[in-house]
Amino acid sequence: MSLDDVRRYLIAYDISDDVRRTNVAKKLESYGDRVQYSVFIVDTCPAKLLRLRTQLIDLIDQGTDSILFCNLGTLRDNQSRTLDVIGRSRTITDHGPAIL
């Protein structure tokens, strides 16, 4: 698997229920890094992203909750870019290529 197979996603959620919000946060923490209270960075291949989406769908109420996926491009593209943060920033770990 090459860096071109792995894409970086910014994932944010809006969930009002504490239990569902906590479960979604725990699931996203197992895939990536929390960069804000409800915003994560996840580096993953298409198959692993599909698995994550399926797991998140099972955790939320689709009538009231929402989860936003923003594709930031390939991991290779992101090596030359950084996220710009004002104030306290959090570390994004270098996960490298995802292995299934």
- The CATH number of residue 11's host domain is 3.30.70.240
Separation CA 46–CA 41 (nearest Å): 15
Q: What is this structure's pTM?
A: 0.84
- On whether residue 25 sits in a domain, the answer given is yes
What DSSP line would sit under 81-100, residue for residue? Answer: -----SSS--------S---
3 state SS of 74: strand
For residue 20, what are the domain limits? 7-74
Separation CA 30–CA 49 (nearest Å): 12
Is 5 labeled as ligand-binding? Answer: no
* Tens place of pLDDT per residue across the chain (100 aa): 666 789 999 999 999 999 999 999 999 999 999 999 999 999 999 999 999 999 999 999 999 999 999 999 988 776 666 677 788 777 777 665 444 4
- On whether residue 95 sits in a domain, the answer given is no
C-beta separation of 39 from 10 below 8 A: yes
Number of structural domains the chain divides into = 1
Residues paired with 7 in a beta bridge: 44, 74
- On whether residue 44 sits in a domain, the answer given is yes
